[in-house]
Amino acid sequence: MNFAVIGYPIEHSLSPKMHQAALDKIFPDSSYIRLSIAPENLKIGVESLRNLNFRGFNVTIPHKTSIMEFLDEIDSDAQEIGAVNTVVNVSGKLIGFNTDHLGFLHGLGDFLIENRDVTMLGAGGAARAVYHAFKKNRARRITIGVRNLNRAKNFDSAEIFQFEDPEFVERLATTDLIVNTTPLGMNPNVDSMPPIDIEKMNREAFVYDLIYTPELTKFLQESQKRGHRIANGVPMLVGQGAEAFRLWTGKIPDIDSMLDALLNQLRCKN
Protein backbone atom coordinates (compact mmCIF):
# COMPACT_ATOMS: atom_id res chain seq x y z
CA MET A 1 0.00 0.00 0.00
CA ASN A 2 1.11 3.51 -0.78
CA PHE A 3 0.31 6.71 1.10
CA ALA A 4 1.39 10.34 0.79
CA VAL A 5 1.09 13.87 2.05
CA ILE A 6 0.52 16.62 -0.51
CA GLY A 7 1.16 20.34 -0.16
CA TYR A 8 3.19 23.23 -1.54
CA PRO A 9 5.82 23.56 -0.20
CA ILE A 10 6.00 20.14 1.43
CA GLU A 11 9.64 19.66 2.51
CA HIS A 12 8.83 20.74 6.07
CA SER A 13 6.21 18.03 6.65
CA LEU A 14 6.83 15.72 9.59
CA SER A 15 4.15 13.25 8.51
CA PRO A 16 6.23 10.77 6.44
CA LYS A 17 8.44 9.49 9.25
CA MET A 18 5.57 9.54 11.73
CA HIS A 19 3.30 7.47 9.49
CA GLN A 20 6.11 5.24 8.25
CA ALA A 21 6.86 4.28 11.85
CA ALA A 22 3.25 3.16 12.27
CA LEU A 23 3.17 1.38 8.91
CA ASP A 24 6.37 -0.52 9.69
CA LYS A 25 4.64 -2.08 12.70
CA ILE A 26 1.63 -3.43 10.78
CA PHE A 27 2.24 -3.09 7.03
CA PRO A 28 6.04 -3.26 6.61
CA ASP A 29 5.85 -3.33 2.80
CA SER A 30 3.94 -0.04 2.65
CA SER A 31 5.38 3.43 2.07
CA TYR A 32 4.42 7.02 2.85
CA ILE A 33 5.99 9.84 0.84
CA ARG A 34 5.91 13.62 0.40
CA LEU A 35 4.50 14.99 -2.85
CA SER A 36 4.95 18.64 -3.79
CA ILE A 37 1.94 19.74 -5.85
CA ALA A 38 1.57 23.37 -6.89
CA PRO A 39 -1.95 24.83 -6.64
CA GLU A 40 -2.36 25.00 -10.44
CA ASN A 41 -1.58 21.27 -10.63
CA LEU A 42 -3.87 20.12 -7.82
CA LYS A 43 -6.58 18.57 -10.01
CA ILE A 44 -4.17 16.50 -12.06
CA GLY A 45 -2.25 15.59 -8.90
CA VAL A 46 -5.38 14.25 -7.23
CA GLU A 47 -6.32 12.26 -10.33
CA SER A 48 -2.81 10.80 -10.48
CA LEU A 49 -3.05 9.61 -6.88
CA ARG A 50 -6.42 8.04 -7.68
CA ASN A 51 -5.14 6.30 -10.79
CA LEU A 52 -1.97 5.08 -9.07
CA ASN A 53 -4.17 3.45 -6.42
CA PHE A 54 -2.73 5.27 -3.43
CA ARG A 55 -4.76 3.94 -0.50
CA GLY A 56 -4.90 7.42 1.00
CA PHE A 57 -3.13 10.71 1.48
CA ASN A 58 -2.92 13.67 3.82
CA VAL A 59 -3.51 17.22 2.67
CA THR A 60 -1.72 20.28 4.01
CA ILE A 61 -1.32 23.98 3.15
CA PRO A 62 -2.44 25.37 0.73
CA HIS A 63 -4.80 22.62 -0.47
CA LYS A 64 -7.06 21.85 2.51
CA THR A 65 -10.01 23.80 1.12
CA SER A 66 -9.36 23.82 -2.62
CA ILE A 67 -9.07 20.02 -2.81
CA MET A 68 -12.71 19.58 -1.83
CA GLU A 69 -14.02 20.22 -5.35
CA PHE A 70 -11.91 17.36 -6.74
CA LEU A 71 -13.18 14.67 -4.35
CA ASP A 72 -16.15 12.35 -4.82
CA GLU A 73 -17.51 12.64 -1.30
CA ILE A 74 -16.89 14.81 1.78
CA ASP A 75 -17.47 13.60 5.34
CA SER A 76 -19.89 15.71 7.40
CA ASP A 77 -17.19 16.85 9.87
CA ALA A 78 -14.98 18.05 7.01
CA GLN A 79 -17.94 19.82 5.44
CA GLU A 80 -18.67 21.71 8.64
CA ILE A 81 -15.02 22.58 9.25
CA GLY A 82 -14.67 23.61 5.62
CA ALA A 83 -11.40 21.78 5.05
CA VAL A 84 -10.02 18.32 4.30
CA ASN A 85 -6.77 16.96 5.71
CA THR A 86 -7.23 13.26 4.93
CA VAL A 87 -8.37 11.50 1.76
CA VAL A 88 -9.29 7.81 1.59
CA ASN A 89 -9.31 5.95 -1.74
CA VAL A 90 -12.10 3.34 -1.70
CA SER A 91 -11.84 1.42 -4.99
CA GLY A 92 -11.20 4.62 -6.92
CA LYS A 93 -13.68 6.76 -4.98
CA LEU A 94 -11.95 9.58 -3.12
CA ILE A 95 -13.54 10.52 0.21
CA GLY A 96 -12.40 13.57 2.17
CA PHE A 97 -12.21 13.73 5.96
CA ASN A 98 -10.90 16.15 8.57
CA THR A 99 -9.21 14.50 11.54
CA ASP A 100 -7.85 17.70 13.11
CA HIS A 101 -10.74 18.04 15.56
CA LEU A 102 -10.08 14.52 16.86
CA GLY A 103 -6.38 15.27 17.11
CA PHE A 104 -7.23 18.35 19.15
CA LEU A 105 -9.27 16.23 21.56
CA HIS A 106 -6.36 13.79 21.85
CA GLY A 107 -4.23 16.65 23.17
CA LEU A 108 -6.75 17.35 25.94
CA GLY A 109 -6.16 13.99 27.60
CA ASP A 110 -8.79 13.47 30.31
CA PHE A 111 -10.08 17.06 30.16
CA LEU A 112 -13.73 17.07 29.05
CA ILE A 113 -15.23 19.95 27.07
CA GLU A 114 -18.86 19.20 27.83
CA ASN A 115 -20.52 21.92 29.96
CA ARG A 116 -17.25 23.88 30.19
CA ASP A 117 -16.59 27.51 29.32
CA VAL A 118 -13.92 27.52 26.62
CA THR A 119 -11.95 30.31 24.99
CA MET A 120 -10.12 30.38 21.69
CA LEU A 121 -7.45 32.90 20.71
CA GLY A 122 -7.64 33.63 16.99
CA ALA A 123 -10.15 32.74 14.29
CA GLY A 124 -8.00 31.66 11.33
CA GLY A 125 -7.81 28.34 9.53
CA ALA A 126 -6.49 26.36 12.50
CA ALA A 127 -9.36 27.62 14.63
CA ARG A 128 -12.06 25.90 12.56
CA ALA A 129 -11.27 22.37 13.78
CA VAL A 130 -11.01 23.51 17.39
CA TYR A 131 -14.33 25.31 17.14
CA HIS A 132 -15.92 22.19 15.63
CA ALA A 133 -14.63 20.11 18.55
CA PHE A 134 -16.11 22.63 20.98
CA LYS A 135 -19.52 22.48 19.32
CA LYS A 136 -19.60 18.73 18.81
CA ASN A 137 -18.62 18.08 22.43
CA ARG A 138 -21.22 20.49 23.80
CA ALA A 139 -19.16 23.23 25.37
CA ARG A 140 -21.34 25.42 27.59
CA ARG A 141 -20.01 28.71 26.25
CA ILE A 142 -17.55 29.41 23.45
CA THR A 143 -15.64 32.70 23.50
CA ILE A 144 -13.24 33.83 20.77
CA GLY A 145 -10.70 36.64 21.05
CA VAL A 146 -9.44 38.30 17.87
CA ARG A 147 -7.65 41.41 16.65
CA ASN A 148 -10.08 42.12 13.81
CA LEU A 149 -13.77 41.33 14.22
CA ASN A 150 -14.32 41.51 10.47
CA ARG A 151 -12.13 38.46 9.89
CA ALA A 152 -13.94 36.25 12.40
CA LYS A 153 -16.74 34.72 10.32
CA ASN A 154 -18.78 31.50 10.42
CA PHE A 155 -18.45 30.93 14.15
CA ASP A 156 -22.17 31.09 14.75
CA SER A 157 -22.28 29.53 18.22
CA ALA A 158 -19.47 31.65 19.65
CA GLU A 159 -19.27 35.08 21.23
CA ILE A 160 -16.49 37.03 19.56
CA PHE A 161 -14.58 39.96 21.08
CA GLN A 162 -11.49 41.95 20.32
CA PHE A 163 -8.66 41.06 22.65
CA GLU A 164 -8.78 44.40 24.48
CA ASP A 165 -12.54 44.32 25.08
CA PRO A 166 -13.20 44.44 28.86
CA GLU A 167 -15.80 41.68 28.55
CA PHE A 168 -13.26 39.41 26.88
CA VAL A 169 -10.84 40.08 29.76
CA GLU A 170 -13.62 39.08 32.16
CA ARG A 171 -14.15 35.84 30.24
CA LEU A 172 -10.45 34.98 30.64
CA ALA A 173 -10.91 35.13 34.40
CA THR A 174 -13.59 32.43 34.42
CA THR A 175 -12.88 30.20 31.43
CA ASP A 176 -11.93 26.55 31.91
CA LEU A 177 -9.84 26.16 28.76
CA ILE A 178 -7.78 28.62 26.71
CA VAL A 179 -6.55 27.53 23.25
CA ASN A 180 -4.08 29.54 21.19
CA THR A 181 -4.82 28.90 17.51
CA THR A 182 -2.67 31.80 16.26
CA PRO A 183 0.93 31.43 14.99
CA LEU A 184 2.16 33.89 17.62
CA GLY A 185 5.19 32.35 19.33
CA MET A 186 6.10 29.93 16.54
CA ASN A 187 9.70 29.60 15.37
CA PRO A 188 11.48 31.85 14.56
CA ASN A 189 9.36 34.46 16.37
CA VAL A 190 9.66 32.77 19.74
CA ASP A 191 9.38 35.97 21.79
CA SER A 192 5.89 36.81 20.54
CA MET A 193 2.70 35.93 22.42
CA PRO A 194 -1.05 36.28 21.97
CA PRO A 195 -2.01 39.83 23.05
CA ILE A 196 -3.67 38.96 26.35
CA ASP A 197 -2.73 39.62 29.96
CA ILE A 198 -1.81 36.21 31.40
CA GLU A 199 -2.32 37.54 34.90
CA LYS A 200 -6.01 37.94 34.09
CA MET A 201 -6.48 34.25 33.22
CA ASN A 202 -8.32 31.87 35.52
CA ARG A 203 -5.55 30.09 37.45
CA GLU A 204 -7.41 26.80 37.12
CA ALA A 205 -7.67 27.03 33.33
CA PHE A 206 -6.09 24.43 31.04
CA VAL A 207 -3.82 26.28 28.57
CA TYR A 208 -3.34 24.64 25.16
CA ASP A 209 -1.16 26.01 22.35
CA LEU A 210 -1.45 24.37 18.91
CA ILE A 211 2.17 25.33 18.14
CA TYR A 212 4.80 22.58 18.52
CA THR A 213 7.92 24.41 17.34
CA PRO A 214 9.23 25.40 19.83
CA GLU A 215 8.07 22.70 22.21
CA LEU A 216 7.13 25.35 24.76
CA THR A 217 6.09 28.72 23.41
CA LYS A 218 6.53 31.79 25.56
CA PHE A 219 2.77 31.64 26.16
CA LEU A 220 3.06 28.11 27.55
CA GLN A 221 6.17 28.93 29.56
CA GLU A 222 4.51 31.87 31.26
CA SER A 223 1.34 29.85 31.86
CA GLN A 224 3.32 27.01 33.37
CA LYS A 225 4.99 29.42 35.79
CA ARG A 226 1.52 30.36 37.06
CA GLY A 227 0.72 26.70 37.69
CA HIS A 228 -1.54 26.05 34.71
CA ARG A 229 -1.90 22.62 33.22
CA ILE A 230 -0.51 22.99 29.67
CA ALA A 231 -0.33 21.17 26.35
CA ASN A 232 1.38 21.92 23.04
CA GLY A 233 0.48 20.85 19.50
CA VAL A 234 2.42 17.56 19.46
CA PRO A 235 -0.43 15.36 20.77
CA MET A 236 -2.80 16.96 18.28
CA LEU A 237 -0.45 16.21 15.38
CA VAL A 238 -0.08 12.59 16.48
CA GLY A 239 -3.78 12.22 17.19
CA GLN A 240 -4.94 13.50 13.82
CA GLY A 241 -2.37 11.25 12.12
CA ALA A 242 -3.52 8.20 14.07
CA GLU A 243 -7.13 8.79 13.03
CA ALA A 244 -6.07 9.18 9.39
CA PHE A 245 -4.19 5.87 9.65
CA ARG A 246 -7.33 4.19 11.03
CA LEU A 247 -9.47 5.56 8.20
CA TRP A 248 -7.02 4.32 5.57
CA THR A 249 -6.31 0.88 6.97
CA GLY A 250 -9.04 -0.01 9.47
CA LYS A 251 -6.27 -0.60 12.02
CA ILE A 252 -5.34 1.30 15.19
CA PRO A 253 -1.69 2.39 14.84
CA ASP A 254 1.02 2.19 17.47
CA ILE A 255 0.73 5.76 18.72
CA ASP A 256 3.92 5.51 20.79
CA SER A 257 5.98 4.76 17.66
CA MET A 258 4.35 7.70 15.86
CA LEU A 259 5.10 9.99 18.80
CA ASP A 260 8.72 8.83 19.03
CA ALA A 261 9.28 9.41 15.31
CA LEU A 262 7.75 12.88 15.56
CA LEU A 263 9.74 13.90 18.62
CA ASN A 264 12.99 12.67 17.07
CA GLN A 265 12.40 14.93 14.08
CA LEU A 266 11.58 17.90 16.27
CA ARG A 267 14.75 17.37 18.31
CA CYS A 268 16.82 17.27 15.13
CA LYS A 269 15.26 20.55 13.98
CA ASN A 270 16.14 22.16 17.29
- Nearest to residue 220, comparing CAs of 263, 240, 190, 200? 190
Write the CA distances from 243 to 34, 120, 201, 211, 248, integer angstroms: 19, 23, 33, 20, 9
64 as an active site residue: the answer is: yes
Beta bridge partners of 5: 34, 58
Q: Which long-range contacts (CB under 8 A, 24 or more apart) does 229-235 make?
A: 229/111, 230/206, 231/107, 231/108, 231/109, 231/206, 231/207, 232/107, 232/208, 233/107, 233/209, 234/107, 234/259, 234/262, 234/263, 234/266, 235/103, 235/106, 235/107, 235/109
List the catalytic residue out of 17, 25, 43, 64.
64
Active-site positions read 64
